[in-house]
Structure 1
Amino acid sequence: MNAYRFSNLVGAPYRGGNVAFAGGSAALVSPVGNRISVTELRKSECWTLPVENGGDVSRVAVSPNGALLLSIDASGRCILVSLARRILLHRMSFKAPVTALGFSPDGSLFAVAMGRLLQVWRTPGCRKEFMAFQLLHTFSSSHDTITCLGWSPDGNWIICGCKDFAVRIFTLQSNRPVVLSAHRNVVNGVFFTESTEGGIGAYSFSKDGALCHWVFHPAQELPAPALDGADDQGKSRKRQKEDEGLEESDGLVRKEEGKLPVLRPDKGQWELVKKRLFHQHGRLSACDYHSGLNIVVAGFSSGVFGIYQMPDFTCIHLLSISKEKITTAVFNRTGNWVAFGCAKLGQLLVWDWRSETYILKQQGHYFDVNCVAYSPDSQLIATGADDNKVKLWNAASGFCFVTFAEHTNAVTAVLFLAGSNAVLSASLDGTVRAWDLMRYRNFRTFTTPAPTQFVSLAADQSGEIICAGTLDTFQIYVWSMKTARLVDVLSGHEGPVHGLAFSPTDEFLASSSWDKTVRLWDVFEGKGGVETFTHTHDVLTVVYRPDGKQLACSTLDGQIHFWDPIDGLLMGTIEGRRDVAGGRLMSDRRTAANSSSGKCFTTMSYSADGSLLLAGGTSKYICMYDVADQVLLRRFQISHNYSLDGVLDFLNSKRMTAAGPIDLIDDYDSDNEAGVDGQVRGKLGQGLPGAQTNAARPIIRTKCLRISPTGRSWAAATTEGLLIYSMDNLVFDPTDLDMDVTPEAINDALESKRYSRALLLALRLNEPLLIQKCVEAVDISAISDVVSNVSLSYLGTLIDALAQYLEKTPHLEFLLRWCLELCTVHGRTIQSKNRELMPALKSLLKSIASLQEQLATAASKNDYLLHYLCSAPTKSKSVEQSLDLCS
């Protein structure tokens, strides 16, 4: 029970803010609500940090070495996270919204823009200390909000763009900024650039699509005039040292011996070299600059992006990737990939502009997720949402691999068919559709004679009978899976049928309705309703225990009733009103303990063995009960995001005004192109003009719960997205370690030439350097024997290690022999466990494909060189020497 830990957040790969690359440009960090998601592009898998911000994340920054992550929410609360260890290091609050954030090139400092203030802080270390964040400098020379910032390559200058259409350059040695004015709109991108002559310049972008190129001309150092008097001479020498950068008042930057004096932006002249226009429809909404390749990327509000070669401003690519505004764009470290994000549609893309291919293309549900279902082998997850789409996710990697968009209204229920590669979905558009998981198409559509709205779905164990409950006609429709014909219509309920469940052992169908009853139906014999269980309140959902000997249903008064479906007797009742209570709405005039709304369960799920029951509803808690003792075992709080309504338990009087809570007042930002619509995270109704709305504060709730058939994980469809809780959260299995598994034991095994034992110990430790050492030590003739001794549980670890090793090793033939022997010896195992090993295999395939491309390029160049040399006169000694070198 206590082994379940938060594992991943899927269903919404991106919701706003900026994204960043980390870990050698192979990992993409993106905010999702108040959490941080990390996408391993080489391994084709996604995982979410277990730490949470206090609100929706607005800015993220990764240190240059990829070890630290700064995450700041919309209220200015900051957390520092270790990406390698996935733990929280420090917390701090800037007490104001942060509009720009960036690490210095060496990672020792970071700059934060808050309104008109620019602050420079020292980066904390990994050890615990009091007041870890140390403020070094504050600049307050801006006349309006700072929108973007960038560091110079030497880390001494900071360039900022503001809403007052100006660009300011600050230095750590002076409080006087240099103001550059050439733009006619808000500046939303600034970057330093280095010229081939060693000079420094800058690029600045504005929303109207203007790009300004600035170049700095340093002033020539003149000798200080000789002054009479010792005091005057001392002051003159001190002033000269300060101008040269030899001595600074704040002690941030010192001149080292053998290095040139630090340049000052105010001790020279900035020149506008060129001002260019992109001439694209829509405003410039995102941009980035890569100094190594001297290229810029610009994203626009029309969904178009362009890549330009500087300084000639030559267009390399001009493509459309979305119908909405591109909210973020960033290059990776090598510059061959560029990541884009579209907050309104939940799109996250990584584009390889050299090969013109997608490295990553993910789009989550941009409205609330209503339903979730596990496949029989627990490898796939199906979700349906208010955006009329059905998505299939890989449970191991967290990636969406197919989307079905044929429904024309919200999807309310999804279901996998046992023993077949098909998934069913019910929708408010009046159809139930069957999807083929082999060809990814809609091969069955179940309809009714009169239009109706479906809110529940069930199928028998054989998958031959499909049943769906309605919202408006209060009937249950029964179809045949083979013929798609309507077989029967079950009538008897007097309210919406929100719960349907087939018995796992017999042929009875259980249904729950708002008419305060649970009914059992004999579908196959055609006898109709055979049993009715009456309650005192509306019944919200019903589930069968896996052995078919118990029926659980929840009612509007917060109780869970357990029935014996065979004898028709009440087996027990759980009073869950206090368990699910928690969190008050902003419109409530009382605390959560005294509130009477939402204290009931709307979704439940049994574990595979029937010993546990998960229940959730319009609350921040998910309750886990012991079925035998009918007691609460644990409560899971699904989110600590204060941007959601219903997370806080007590009323904060500081947020109250004469017109009511300040969070309910519609604060329209005219500078925001999308306005309030850009902040809506759920499918919320639009209020009347001038009325108080809660569009930016969705209510926290759990709409669907499902435990996987293996019992190792469970999924919850919540306001935050699809939360996955799993028992398999550890990087390595500690039960597989003993006193003999040490690096010394690995070295001893290598010295005695016991390569199989050494590799097995290294795989158990899961240390990449030790695995690499063991792989290199094996003789090429003994690779087959060593590979055959690798157990199946460590096969994925070895494939991952080989994929990472191939990216940086010169021993290509040696490692390719390892890959060949691995596929030859364990080929059948790889085919049988392709879903489990798919992320590792994709990572290995990408590494091999990258090597093939590099070798093909090198071979092509050598071929042209040989043809050129062979065409020259053969009597030349230089040519003969070149041919000898090539041979």
Structure 2
Amino acid sequence: MNFRFQNLLGAPYRGGNVVVAEDATLLSPLERTFPDCAATVTSLNWSPDSKYLLAGSKDLTVRLFSLDKSKEGRRPFVFSGHREAIVGAFFSLDKKSGKVVRVYSVSRDGAIFTWNLDQSSDFDEPLSPGTPEQGASIDDLDNFSRKRKNLEESEILLNKRKWELAKKDLFMQAPARLTACDYHNELDMVVVAFSNGVFGLYQMPDFVCIHLLSISREKITTAVFNRLGNWLTFGCAKLGQLLVWEWRSESYILKQQGHYFDVNCVSYSPDSQMLATGADDNKVKVWTVSSGFCFVTFSEHTNAVTAVHFMANNHCLLSASLDGTVRAWDLFRYRNFRTFTTPTPRQFVALASDQSGEIICAGTLDSFEIFVWSMKTGRLLDILSGHEGPVHGLMFSPTNAILASSSWDKTVRLWDVFEGKGAVETFPHTHDVLTVVYRPDGKQLACSTLDGQIHFWDPIDGVVMYTIEGRRDIAGGRLMTDRRSAANSSSGKYFTTLCYSADGSYILAGGSSKYICMYDIADQVLLRRFQITRNLSLDGVLDFLNSKNMTDAGPLDLIDDEDSDGEEGITKQTRDTLGYDLPGSKPNRGRPVVRTKCLKIAPTGRSWAAATTEGVLTYSVDESFVFDPTDLDIDVTPEAVEVALSEGQKQRALILSLRLNEDSLIKKCIFSVNPSDIPVVASSIPFKYLQRLMEAFADLLESCPHLEFSLQWCQELCKTHGHFIQQNSRSLLPALRSLQKAITKLHQDMTDICSSNEYLLQYLCATGTKI
């Protein structure tokens, strides 16, 4: 774990300095700079009173710094003795007095040192300040005042006290390296993680192992406690894995794994509730948009997945890959039920299907052909030839069976697939065509070319309607290897992916840049640019490079760090044994370049997704589209609900009860609301609690006698949140069915009661008898 400080130019700082500012903002006044570390600083830890700082470094030492500006506080105390780089260093407090009594230092070779503060030592007690001499300078008077204040408060700088090495403990996981650690002060526990996927939880200072488990075979890059200390969070960068573990009950709270290579393609389901992704790790994943959780992973492909496409029935997903197959996935049974292949292996990079779902088409990278299959039989029906370059864009017209294809041969071609007449029209361009998309009404066609322009065609008349010049808009940062400035460089100034809005009024465009551009088509103007990342670990983010990072061997960031964690495993083994990397391996030759590979807008038009080097980014116009997996905090208690009810805050009490998810409290808060206030309270319920509230009313309708009150609640919820219910009908389906079942049963019971009492009611009405 490396901490890299950024200067105002944004260049990574590789020195051994520790920089302290007054607050977290970049432009804050600089408080102190400690230049004592001889190598890269790897860990930092503040004392609870924020007066001291522990800094671990690759120079095998931990230094204790004081923010006191006097001479006594300038020189740090050095904890030495480790044999490898420091991974973490932590203060330990006495539970009774709350003072620092111990320091733990953890190194990469799996050793933890315990350092105790010698409380009996007084070798550096501050002496009596005496009296200042006559004619003393202002600095002498300031030093005298500071010494006197320290003496009155009986404070002795921790970095001037005597620290003793109490003991050394080993985690015994060799040859694995310790990669992450964290310490919880109140529990006095340390969690450590290793490069072989093992993590351990230890009670300190006795070094008692509570748990020692393995969660993967890859290096764990992050291990942290939550604030209460009951949850442990682990991250594995290579696998894209996140795991939250409750150590007392030994159960998983959350377990998610994303793609561990670049995501190449995304696709929304027709109801906008699911998102499919394909990546270079040969996997296809399907995610729930509302929660951000992956619920199924398909791993049958043997090479990178280049395109994914949902069928119109919402229950079938297609994926194309460089392994020469197009596969169809059943989203009910979660299986590959059909595989489309060619007589000779081909690499597929584009995928499309017609509106009926009967025809599947895929474009190739190597043979410049388009293959057509039957969805029902899986047979190859036709091979469309005519392009003279790789086919990188395919899309069927939304209104008819015309297929549009774009190729690097500088043409866009329209094909009548069902008639088998071949290309019915060709649209020539002056540069390579990178992608093509239809407008949702099928009356316009957009394609991007290598010169940075977006051309809009009328597919019926075959004429150009508009042209947008986007070279200046898509221009991003400067690459580390560029010899020209970002403004004068021509690399990457073109769009590789396009997507129309749901109404066709604007278009999104992205490419090898940190920006995604949104254009108004009718006026050909740039509406907005979305910056997808500010991560300086990616190349092309900075507009200006720092000349201090240039060396005789080239940019400093492109020089391999031989002491990095990347040496572990097969890479280091291969270098040590053979002296070179194996063919096909991916040595570190620089940083990945920021880019957007695919853009898709949801069919509802309320959100859109981008596959980028930072992962999949989802943007939404709905403020309620916020994912919060842990909604509890220390203030959410049953007592807080009771206080809110006693103060007449019915709305707040109901939301607190929903956050607690206790059925009795939820029902109590529901009945505390006056019938006249139901519309106001129902409109204030956050969308994420709607399903839980519907489940509560489904239960109430089956057992509660207050039928009109419950039905009024259900009516107001449906009226107020109807749009959200329609968009998220898939996730809300169980609650809606339970509610429908309860209302249907209630209606039948009321019908039977009214039918049996029909003549009695007529008699009473006829006689005018008062009940």
TM value normalised by structure 1: 0.65
1:312 aligns with 2:202: no
Residue 6 of structure 2 aligns with an amino acid whose one-letter code is G
**Is structure 2 residue 561 aligned with structure 1 residue 669?**
yes
1:191 maps onto 2:95 in alignment: no
**Residue 658 of structure 2 contacts residue 666 of structure 2 at CA under 8 Å; is this kept in 1?**
no
Letter in 2 for 1:187: I
Structure 1 residue corresponding to 2:262, chosen from 368, 380, 404: 368
Alignment partners' CA distance in 1, 2:276 and 2:337: 17
Q: Which of the residues 106, 116, 119 maps onto 1:205? A: 106
Gaps of 5+ in 2: 572-579, 627-643, 694-703, 735-771
Equivalent residue in structure 2 for 1:403, among 297, 302, 308: 297
Query: Given that residues 763 and 798 in structure 1 are in contact (C-alpha distance below 8 angstroms), is that contact kept between their aligned partners in structure 2?
Result: no
**Is this contact kept in 2: 1:512–1:519, CA < 8 A?**
yes
Match of residue 262, structure 1, among 144, 148, 155: 155
Whether 1:76 aligns to 2:20 is: no
Q: CA deviation at 1:759?
A: 5.4
1:272 aligns with 2:173: no
Greater Cα offset, 498-507 or 556-565: 556-565
1:474 CA displacement: 1.7
- Aligned mates of 1:841, 1:526 — CA distance in 2: 43
SS at match of 2:609: strand
- Go from structure 1 to structure 2 and tell me whether the alpha carbon gap of 1:124 and 1:609 turns closer, same or farther (over 3 Å shift): closer
Judge conservation of contact 2:658–2:692 (CA < 8 Å) in 1: no
Q: 2:347 aligns with which of 432, 450, 453?
A: 453
Return the match for 2:595 from 701, 710, 721.
701
Deviation per CA, 1:494-543: give whole Å up to 9, x if none. 22111111111111111122223222222223333333333333222111
SS in 2 for 1:292: coil
What is the one-letter code of the residue matched to 1:442?
Answer: N
Classify 1:170/1:613 alpha carbon distance in 2 versus 1 (closer, same or farther; 3 Å): closer
1:40-189 to 2 correspondence within 5 Å? 59=3, 74-77=4-7, 97=13, 115=16, 117-118=17-18, 120-123=20-23, 132-133=28-29, 135=31, 137-142=32-37, 144-172=39-67, 174-175=72-73, 176-189=75-88
- Separation in structure 2 between the aligned mates of residue 449 and residue 94 of structure 1, nearest angstrom: 53
The whole-number CA distance in structure 1 between the counterparts of 2:732 and 2:92 is 38
Q: 1:159 to 1:435 in 2, by over 3 A?
A: same
CA distance in 1, matches of 2:148, 2:397: 75
Matched, 1:300 2:194: yes
SS of alignment partner, residue 498 of structure 2: strand
Query: Which residue of the partner structure matches residue 762 of structure 2?
Result: none
Contact 1:796 1:840 in 2 (8 A): no
- For the Cα contact (< 8 Å) 2:290–2:625, is it kept in 1? no
Corresponding residue for residue 608 of structure 2: 714
Distance 1:730 1:763, change over 3 A: farther
Which residue of structure 1 lines up, in the alignment, with residue 689 of structure 2? Answer: 799
Q: Tell which deviates more after alignment, 474-483 or 160-169.
A: 160-169
Deviations, residues 200-250 of structure 1 (Å, cap 9, x unaligned): 2222222221222232231266999999x9889xx9xxx9xx9xxx97459
| Counterpart-to-counterpart distance in 2, 1:711 and 1:254 | 68
Q: Aligned-residue CA RMSD in angstroms?
A: 4.8
Q: How many residues align?
A: 672
Kindly tell me: are residues 837 and 650 of structure 1, through their superposed partners in 2, closer, same or farther at Cα, counting changes over 3 Å? Answer: same
Query: Which shows bigger deviation, 426-435 or 623-632?
Result: 623-632
Q: 1:352 to 1:428 in 2, by over 3 A?
A: same
1:674 alignment partner, SS class: helix
CA distance in 2, matches of 1:409, 1:332: 38
1:382 maps to which of 262, 268, 276 = 276
Distance 1:134 1:461, change over 3 A: same
1:571-627 deviation line (CA, Å, top 9, x unaligned): 343344444345444444434444443333222111111111222223343333333
Separation of aligned partners in 2, 1:697 and 1:225: 52
- Please give the per-residue CA displacement for 1:695-742, whole angstroms capped at 9, x wherever unaligned: 33322322222222122222222233323333224799xxxxxxxxxx
| Percent of aligned pairs with the same amino acid | 59
The CA distance in 2 between the partners of 1:268 and 1:118, in whole Å, is 22
Cα 1:824–1:147 shift into 2, 3 Å: farther
CA contact (8 A) 2:121 2:162 kept: no
CA distance in 1, matches of 2:164, 2:543: 57
CA distance in 1, matches of 2:182, 2:125: 42
Question: Within 1, Cα distance between the matches of 2:23 and 2:213?
Answer: 38
- Residues 214 and 274 in structure 1, CA contact (< 8 A), matched pair in contact too: yes
Q: Distance in 1 between matches of 2:401 and 2:360?
A: 13
- Cα offset for 1:337? 0.8
User: What residue ranges of structure 1 are gaps of 5+ in the alignment?
Assistant: 1-16, 18-57, 60-73, 78-91, 99-113, 680-685, 733-749, 804-816, 843-887
Cross-structure match for 2:411? 517
**Aligned equivalent of 1:848:** none
Q: Secondary structure at the match of 1:218?
A: coil
Cα distance change, pair 447–669 in 1 and its aligned pair in 2 (3 A) = same
Map of 1:333 onto structure 2: 227
Give 1:801 deviation, angstroms: 13
Quick one: which of 508, 513, 536 aligns to 2:430? 536
Q: How far is the alpha carbon of 1:318 from its aligned partner? A: 1.3
Find the counterpart in structure 2 of residue 490 from structure 1: 384
Counterpart secondary structure, 2:394: strand
Distance 1:134 1:155 in 2: 16
1:850-865 residue pairs with structure 2 within 5 A?
none
Quick one: distance in 1 between partners of 2:248 and 2:67?
Answer: 38
Given that 1:584 and 1:647 are in contact with CA atoms closer than 8 Å, whether structure 2 keeps it comes out as: yes
Q: Which amino acid aligns with 1:799?
A: Y
Q: 1:782 to 1:131 in 2, by over 3 A?
A: closer
3-state SS of 1:463 partner:
coil
Counterpart code for 2:88? G
Distance 2:381 2:550 in 1: 58
Name the CA distance, whole Å, in 2 between partners of 1:563 and 1:643.
39
Aligned in 2, Cα 1:784/1:490: closer, same or farther, shift over 3 Å?
Answer: farther
Deviation at 1:430, TM superposition (A): 0.7
2:519 match: secondary structure: strand
Single out whichever of 384-393 and 781-790 deviates more from structure 2. 781-790
- Whether 1:505 and 2:399 are equivalent positions in the alignment is yes
- Given that residues 763 and 797 in structure 1 are in contact (C-alpha distance below 8 angstroms), is that contact kept between their aligned partners in structure 2? no
**Aligned in 2, Cα 1:503/1:357: closer, same or farther, shift over 3 Å?**
same
* 1:469 Cα deviation after fit: 0.9
Amino acid at match of 2:593: I
TM score, norm. by length of structure 2: 0.74
**Equivalent position of 1:82 in the other structure:** none
How far residue 639 of structure 1 moved from its aligned partner, in angstroms, is 3.8
Instruction: Return the alpha-carbon distance in structure 1 between the equivalents of residues 206 and 512 of structure 2.
Output: 57
Tell me if the contact between 1:787 and 1:822 (Cα under 8 Å) persists in the aligned partners.
no
The superposition leaves residues 25-49 of structure 1 with CA deviations (integer Å, 9 ceiling, x where unpaired) of: xxxxxxxxxxxxxxxxxxxxxxxxx
Q: Which has the higher contact order (CA 8 A, sep 6+)?
A: 1
Deviation at 1:636, TM superposition (A): 3.6
Query: What residue identity is the alignment partner of 1:357?
Result: S
Match of 2:763 in 1: none
Change in CA separation of 1:762 and 1:461 when aligned onto 2, cut-off 3 Å:
farther
